[in-house]
């Protein structure tokens, strides 16, 4: 397979196969039966956990006095209740019993920008109907009966982006599935895989019927760090799970080498909203309930046992890029991306010192594809890319991010260091169709 822009196997990117989301079943232990009162000791002592009841005796005089006090208190309470019920003085609201068959008025939710609880409530009500559970199944064969069937292999999430049944999810959620079932409301519907794009880890499913509750599509172009966000999905199969947080960072990038494909995660949105296995393909929405990203990756603690664990570091594909790919998959069944035509390796301070390079950060061009945009523009092997337009290039991932953020046909200003000289080179990007 041909290497994509700026990817080099010696880079520091993770090397992991894209797999379907899943995890070990969650087991809940329910305690049944009456709870014992005194079957344990506190601090290892022999004292009972609750003192036994003591029988008290009352004298005749005491009982008469208690009865008189009780009668007086009861009369006062009854009088106060009658005054309250019939509204016998100003400021007391009359009790009006609900009318049979009547419907109580529901107070609208008023969003106070300073109160995250109210915002989350309103956003959850708006966003959850358009987020579906995606169940991945594999075909099984019973050698004793000769029958075939399906069993669940994992689960993920998806976002309904069109009311006629198009669902956007991650490619790694449905990769290798023999059957995909989407749960919308209470209905399980078998879905058709309309198109996949492993290079961006996105896929589009089509479910029959409709109209379905589609998400309101927002924009990822003007997001800000610190902005309030809500994540919706099916972690561990728990459908319609809502978590809240903020945007922790922007323009995060990563490259993953799978068994057959290279996935370039570029310009990711980082969030501290809890994201776990099963959230992949779900929605990241803003304070207005608009879709701004597709939840895709998490960073787990080193040495975590079993399924990956949420550590407050999750990543979402920006909605602008995701919808662009989704529209292509819906229309043609495939997606194309901007292409420059270089393979590079990241430079850090250690690499710079070892090879006595003139810069301590950048992407060293190791190969330029013949007849590619980079080749025609004059980029050479050994050049060090330090900037693309206004974006500083610190390594291979930044080159991916800068190129994928543009469109086919755009011209980018690439600043390279050649020898001891900085050179500006204009490169007009082309499609990567047929080059992967």
Active site residues: 172, 201, 280
Residues 155 and 218: their CA atoms lie apart, in Å, by 26
Q: What angle do CA 342, 347, 349 make, to 5 degrees?
A: 170
Cβ atoms of residues 396 and 11 within 8 Å: yes
Please state, in angstroms and rounded to a whole number, the distance separating the CA atoms of residues 401 and 196. Answer: 20
Alpha helices in 347-390 (DSSP H): 349-355, 373-377
d(CA 328, CA 334) in angstroms, rounded, equals 6
Let me know: does 40 contact 284? Beta carbons within 8 Å: no
Q: State the Cα–Cα distance between residues 120 and 134, nearest whole angstrom.
A: 24
Query: 181: number of CA atoms within 13 Å, CB side?
Result: 17
Cβ–Cβ < 8 Å for 311, 248: no
DSSP letters, 170-218, are -HHHHTT-SEEEEEETTEEEEEEEEEEETTTTEEEEE-SS----PPPB-
C-alpha dist (Å) from residue 388 to 191, 391, 398: 41, 5, 9
- The residue behind tokens 């669940």 is 152
Which residue, among 188, 138, 182, 140, has the nearest Cα to 161 in the 3D structure?
182
Q: Which residues contact 411 (CB under 8 A, 6 or more apart)?
A: 426, 427, 428, 429
Residue 61 token pair:
């005089």
The token pair at 342 is: 């270089």
């Amino acid at each position: 397979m041909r290497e994509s822009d700026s990817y080099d196997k010696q880079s520091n990117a993770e090397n992991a196969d894209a797999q379907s989301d899943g995890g070990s079943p969650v087991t809940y232990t329910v305690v049944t039966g009456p709870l014992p009162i005194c079957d344990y000791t506190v601090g290892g002592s022999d004292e009972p956990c609750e003192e036994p009841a003591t029988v008290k005796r009352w004298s005749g005089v005491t009982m008469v006095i208690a009865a008189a006090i009780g009668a007086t208190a009861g009369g006062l309470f009854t009088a106060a209740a009658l005054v309250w019920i019939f509204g016998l003085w100003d400021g007391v609201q009359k009790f009006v019993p609900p009318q049979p068959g009547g419907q109580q008025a529901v107070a609208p939710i008023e969003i106070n920008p300073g109160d995250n609880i109210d915002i989350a409530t309103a956003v959850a009500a708006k966003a959850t109907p358009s987020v579906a559970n995606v169940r991945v199944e594999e075909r099984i064969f019973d050698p004793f009966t000769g029958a075939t069937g399906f069993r669940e292999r994992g689960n993920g999430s998806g976002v309904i982006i069109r009311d006629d049944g198009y669902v956007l999810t991650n490619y790694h959620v449905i990769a290798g599935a023999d059957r995909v079932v989407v749960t919308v409301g209470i209905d399980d519907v078998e879905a058709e895989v309309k198109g996949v794009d492993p290079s961006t880890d996105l896929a589009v499913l089509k479910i029959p019927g409709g109209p379905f509750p589609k998400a309101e599509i927002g924009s990822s172009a003007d997001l800000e760090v610190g902005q309030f966000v809500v994540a919706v999905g099916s972690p561990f199969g728990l459908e319609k799970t809502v978590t809240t947080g903020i945007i922790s960072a922007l323009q995060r990038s990563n490259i993953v080498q799978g068994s057959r494909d290279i996935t370039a995660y570029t310009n990711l949105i980082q969030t501290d909203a809890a994201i776990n296995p099963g959230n992949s393909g779900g929605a990241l929405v803003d304070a207005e309930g608009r879709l701004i990203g597709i939840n895709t990756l998490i960073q787990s603690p080193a040495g975590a046992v079993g399924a990956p664990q949420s550590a407050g570091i999750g990543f979402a594909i920006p909605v602008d890029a995701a919808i662009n790919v989704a529209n292509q998959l819906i229309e043609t069944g495939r997606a194309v991306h901007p292409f420059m035509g270089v393979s590079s390796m990241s430079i850090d301070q250690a690499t710079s010192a070892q090879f006595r390079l003139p810069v301590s950060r950048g992407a060293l061009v190791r190969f330029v594809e013949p007849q590619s945009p980079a080749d025609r523009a004059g980029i050479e092997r050994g050049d060090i890319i330090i900037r693309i337009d206004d974006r500083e290039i610190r390594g291979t991932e930044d080159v991916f991010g800068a190129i994928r953020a543009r469109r086919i046909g755009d011209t980018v200003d690439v600043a390279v260091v050649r020898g001891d000289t900085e050179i500006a080179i204009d490169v007009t990007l082309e499609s990567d169709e047929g080059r992967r």
